[in-house]
Structure 1
């Protein structure tokens, strides 16, 4: 019984360590963002966040890291100006979609459209 418990603990510990090794940091995500957008893997949405268009390569990890940073920044801006976070997200989403270069994806009415 003790041997099984130790094996389970080792497995949980190994999984926790390996998961943290695979987590992408913000700096790495920023470096990969243009590439995954140009490949059509990631697109901008009206909500102010990125979403995965095609689940390949590092798309999910980039989206997760960038969206986490955006969420924190939107919250900071909302608190500073005493406005709802949703308002900040909406304005940011509109601006991000406007700045998206031709050939990259944006979400319009829930559908991915190549700009």
Structure 2
């Protein structure tokens, strides 16, 4: 076996091992909804995410953690709003608006809310 063929075989093996490690580690690195819910208070305190009148979280200072938290929680909220709308025979938009209003009301002082297109800290 020549040096070049051994090098190519070794490189292929390294690539295969690296691919397997990535495939196994991705689910471990992924954030779950429960982890996102646990991280939400801290993300709000840090000013990464805030509540919107449409019933969903908005990302204020984008980073991968804020984006993931908002996506996971918003997906869960959307599913719940859809279920509530169906169960009560009302429009999803009505559920979203009511949920948004309640979320804004319940937002702690110092956390961010989106009002008239601007992120402001609730007083």
- Could you tell me the TM-score, scaled by structure 2's length? 0.77
- The aligned residue for residue 33 of structure 1 is 40
Unpaired runs of 5+ residues, structure 2, are 1-11
4+ runs deviating over 2 angstroms: 13-23
Larger Rg: 2
User: Counterpart of 1:83 in 2: which secondary structure?
Assistant: coil
* Native 8 Å contact 1:23 1:61 kept in 2: no
- Could you tell me the TM-score, scaled by structure 1's length? 0.82
2:91 aligned with 1:84: yes
Distance (Å, rounded) in 1 between the aligned partners of 2:21 and 2:64: 23
Unpaired runs of 5+ residues, structure 1, are none
- The aligned residue for residue 8 of structure 2 is none
Number of residue equivalences: 109
2:73 aligned with 1:66: yes
